[in-house]
Structures are given as C-alpha cells and as structure tokens.
Structure 1
Amino acid sequence: MITIDQVRHFKFPKGAEVRPLKPEELVHINKELKRVLSEIYSKGKLTAQYAPSGSEQFADPADRASSEEVNSVVFRLRDREHKMIRKIKGALSRMENGEYGICEECGEYIAPARLLARPVTSYCLTCKTEQEVEEKLRQDS
C-alpha cells in the first residue's frame, strides 16, 4: 500500500516541466475553457428538454420504471454539467485574478502539460496525488 510519505518523496518524470504558462498557452486554454462552457450550456438546454415534468401518470409499472431510469440519467447528467460549469468558471476566475496555474495547496506552479490536459485543475500533480492517496486510505479504513 502506498503511503503519503512515499507520494511526497516520489520524483515525477522530467517531462513534467514546472513553470509559469506562456501567454499564448494561457490564451489557448482560456479559449478552450470558454468553448467547452458554451458547449455545456448548449447541451444543457437539450438535457433540460428531457427533464421530468412531474405530471406523468403510468398505468404500467414497466413504463414507470423506464421513466424513472431516464429521469435518473438526466439528473446525473445535469449534476455533472453543473459541476463542470463550476470548475470552468473557477478556472476562468483564477485566470482573471492572475492565480491560474498555481497550486491551491502548495503554491507552486502547475506543469503546463497538466494544465493543457486538465485545464480546470487547481492542484499540481504531487498535491492531487496526495489527495487521492489520502482519500483511498480513508476509504480502506
């Protein structure tokens, strides 16, 4: 089993260069976040069309079960959309405040490769790994 101390002392591969983002990288990520946000809002309108009205009456229990399953999927999708919207808005806010690309936990720069792969992240790879290990240890105990 991995411990927190092992994670803290792990040396990540050299390819994960840690430095401030270049202005063109920041512009690229900003545009991508805004594009994804717009896409989520567009899909959200579509998802809302399938939301239950609450007035459905079903004589057949199978129809009711099917409807409840669809409703469950729609609610999960909308929940994911809302979570992603919050993350994107948080990232855009950090950009405006000049805090984007700085780990909220340790204050170090987040590797540009990580930000390009996961633009909504607010943690460097080490701190995020520590969080995940701590969470796994809590679940296992």
Structure 2
Amino acid sequence: MNYSRQRAEVLDQIREHEDHPTADVIFAELRQKDPSISLATVYRNLKLLSDLGEIRKLSFVSGADHFDSTIKPHYHFVCERCGKVYDIPMKVAEALDSEAEMYIPGAITGHDLVFRGICDECGALEGSRDSQK
C-alpha cells in the first residue's frame, strides 16, 4: 500500500485519543490542522485502516461507529448516559470462544464483549443533581 499523508494523519489523530472517537470527531480535529481535508477522505481512510487491521471499528455502540487504535483483543464499557466508550484492561476470556463453538454451526474467530452502565462522571453529575433538590 502506498503512503498517504492524509491516512497517516487520520491514524495519528486516532492514536492521540484514549477514548474512542467517531469519524466526525476525527474530522473536526483534523480540519483544525488541515482545512483542506474532507469528510469523505476521513471516512475513506477510516474504512481502509479498519480493513487493513490498523484500527478497530466499533459498531456495537448506539449511533455512529467509534474507532479504536488498540487492535489486540480487549473489552469495552459503554456509558448509557453520555455514550463514552472505555477500554477495560482485563484478561480476555479465550475459553469463551471454544465454549460458544459447542452451540453454533461453524467456527468462531473471536468475540467482542461490551459492558454497559453509568460512568463515574455521569454518576457524579446525577449525584450532584440529587443533592440540589
């Protein structure tokens, strides 16, 4: 694959995030650095980087796809209030794949596990609203 300055910029921008940005967030940030970049260019490069295995596209989140620069298997937590996606640095349950294979007519190549709940930041906001009543 040939080098592309814009593809490198998209990848670098994703790697700057600890959260999991959407294409619109990446586009807005890159637009500040390079006003000539288009949303179509960002989408095209996100798709290509995802297809190449350089990043992970997270489609399990409600709404827009999010992108993750950590490609090794790991789990996520999604806040049901603000929609932020967090990595969970726990060991991946590899035995889950072989156990699940007993119930399906095929071979499993991996799994995604998403925990849902309320993040501390949203919980604190909720707590401060309750105390103001």
Structure number with the higher helix fraction is 1
- Tell me the TM-score normalised to structure 2 length: 0.23
| Structure with the greater alpha carbon radius of gyration | 1
Instruction: Tell me which of the two structures has the higher relative contact order, counting C-alpha pairs closer than 8 angstroms and 6 or more residues apart.
Output: 1
- Tell me the TM-score normalised to structure 1 length: 0.22
Structure number with the higher strand fraction is 2
